[in-house]
Amino acid sequence: MIVTKQKILDDIIKKIKGSVFIFGCGICSDTSRTGGPKEVEAMRKTLESNNIKVNGAYVIDAMCHLQKVKKAIRDNKEGIESSESVLVLSCGSGVQSAVNSINLIDKHKKIVSGVDTMFIGNIESLSSLKEMCSLCGQCVLNETSGICPVTLCPKGLLNGPCGGMKNYKCEVDENLDCVWVKIYERSSIQNSLEDIKKIASPKDYSVKQPVGSIKFKGSH
Amino acid sequence: MQTGNSLELNKNYIIVTISLIINMDKNLFKDKLENNEFVYTSEVSPERGTDLSKIKIILKSLKDKITAFNVTDNQGANMKMSSLAASIYIKSIGGEPIFQQTCRDRNRMALESDLLGASALGINNVLTLTGDYITFGDHKHAKPVYDIDSVNLIEIIKGLNSGYDMNGNHLNGKTDFYIGAAVNPESNPLEPQLMKFEKKIKAGCNFFQTQAVFSVENFEKFYNYYKNYNNIKIIAGIFILKSAKVARFMNKNIPGIYIPQSIVDELENSKDPLKTGIEISARVAKGLKNKVNGLHIMAFGIEDSIPNFLKNFEEEE
């Protein structure tokens, strides 16, 4: 899931022009506690107490899904049309779904993002989200016994630990395990040390250029 | 605006400067190591600013005792004058520089082009490093690059030495670098560090400079491993501690440093901590002497204690 964090309230308020309609996202923003039904309702009250008129609010079950966003806009036509701004409590993808869809009916409406998009997170529990993959487009997990150094080493090192590792811990944060020690230990158990002893080539950053996109042929 | 004449003058000046540098293309550091002579290296940290006078003072006072000077690259992730410029300056005043390159601040293209520039201007030793993480230093909000790592960098330099860039493109003029890398002999656990050490050797590393060593006993385990590699030169890192406070600070804040409590206590109980610090460093260095090819002496801010250390170290037991 995509993990988000609410922006500073004052910064959100400064960007809103006139009255507002609020969109939330029922999948990721709900789990991140930034844009599910509870947070959307809380935001409505907060904005109203700051003298901003809220003309409606709606939680879409996945704001990255353009067709669902378009349908939600049709279903909430009146509230959106009567608002000068639309506040989106969803990741950057969700905000741009709203921009692209609302642009079709009104190019002047102000779309405000209420959150910062942080990382793709594993749900360890409902109160703990952890980054384990950084969407690099060139997965090395088959070589590193299933533990990602691109994400879990702050330097993204592919060939072993840096000299800063101390007593099994990362130089950047003493509470963080050195991921290369973890990879080494697991590769020993898995009998796959040969894989990590080979020199890994630098990553190919052309794989996602110019902008990541996939077009499928045929039906699903 | 420059006139035709001043352009001509500038051109001559550049040609004279370059010729001076090219005439100094002997690599004393490499020659000594390859002839199995014991070497001493030390560290020079360029200023945050354009002032070169401190480098000049250090060079003047230590040039006769120190074979080569390691020129740090934005040390501790703090923004300083470039290692490249300071290395060229050191070469121009008769010192032998070891140009440090970390992978933190430059992508593969920038690293390669700086290496070509360094080589063209007479720099022949390079020390490849990952680089302390960006948040340690004074530009905490900067983007950490780490496009490639130190093992990849060694491979790239080996390629430049053969006349090709990392993508196999032919170079018009190849480099002639003596390639160095870092290793931490006191790393805990040691095995993942040894794996990387071995990769660096495979990639084409000629010499290693170790992290500061404080325990001869810990170093022994590393020695038992590397003594099988005949052609690899090891320069042991020796840090001159001036007080117990510095030792405690380093243990807490410097990545990869392990200073035993017994050393901290020895400094704490001393009436002359700097003298004791020099004695401790010399004692550790003597313990390593027969296992290594040289010493890299680190004495941040107390470079004037290096001659005393050397006197202590060279004294018969």
Domains of chain A by residue range = 1-140, 143-201
CA–CA min distance A28, chain B (Å): 27
Please tell me if residue A167 touches chain B, with a CB cutoff of 8 Å. yes
pLDDT score of B253: 87
What's the confidence (pLDDT) of residue B2? 45
Q: Spell out which residues of chain B touch residue A201, defining contact as CB-CB under 8 Å.
A: 152
- Other Cβ atoms closer than 10 A to B279: 16
Q: What local confidence, expressed as pLDDT, does residue B301 receive?
A: 85
Look at residue A20 and give its three-state secondary structure: strand
Alpha carbon separation from A39 to A59, A62, A179 (Å, rounded) = 10, 16, 35
How many whole angstroms separate alpha carbon A54 and alpha carbon A48? 7
* CB–CB contact A165 B192 (8 Å): yes
pLDDT at B6 over 60: no
Please state, for a pLDDT cut of 70, what percent of chain B lies above it.
Answer: 91
**HSE value, Cβ hemisphere, 13 Å, CA-based, for B120:** 12
Beta strands in chain B (DSSP E): 39-44, 68-71, 97-102, 125-129, 178-183, 207-212, 233-239, 294-298
* Amino acid B16: pLDDT: 43
Q: Is the pTM of this model over 0.90?
A: yes
Burial of A6 (0-12, 13-18, 19+ CB in 10 A): middle
CA distance B197 to B166: 21
Contact of A168 with chain B, judged by CB distance below 8 Å, is answered with yes
pLDDT confidence of residue B316: 67
A82: which 2 tokens?
Answer: 């009567």
What are the tens digits of pLDDT across the range B114-130?
Answer: 999 999 999 999 999 99
* B7 band by pLDDT with thresholds 50, 70 and 90: low
pLDDT in tens, A152-197: 999 999 999 999 999 999 999 999 999 999 999 999 999 999 999 9
Residue B183 and residue B127 in contact, taking contact as beta carbons nearer than 8 Å: no
- In B, minimum Cα distance to A197 occurs at B195
Residue A87 dihedral angles phi and psi, to the nearest 5°: -95, 125
Residue type (1 letter), A166: K
- What is the per-residue pLDDT for A39? 98
Q: CA–CA separation, B5 vs A212, rounded Å?
A: 53
Answer whether A45 touches B (CB < 8 Å): no
Task: Give buried/exposed letters for B188-204 (b at 16+ CB in 10 A, else e).
Answer: eebebbbbbbbbbbebb
Which CATH fold would you assign to the domain A1-140? Rossmann fold (3.40.50)
Decide the pairing of beta strands A115-125 and A128-131.
antiparallel
How many contacts, defined by CB atoms under 8 Å, are there between A and B?
100
State the Cα–Cα distance between residues B12 and B125, nearest whole angstrom.
28
Judge if ipTM > 0.85: yes
In the three-class reduction of DSSP (H, G, I as helix; E, B as strand; rest coil), residue A4 is classed as strand
Whether A199 contacts chain B with CB within 8 A: yes
Reference B306, options B85, B62, B140; nearest CA is B62
CB contacts, 8 Å: B252 with chain A: none
Euclidean distance between CA atoms B172 and B107, whole angstroms: 22
Partners of residue A176 in chain B, C-beta under 8 Å? none
Instruction: Please name every residue paired with A21 in a beta bridge, in sequence order, or none if there are none.
Output: A56, A86
- Chain A positions touching B191 (Cβ under 8 A) are 184
* Residue ranges in A23-166 assigned as alpha helix (H): 28-31, 37-49, 66-75, 77-81, 92-103, 149-152
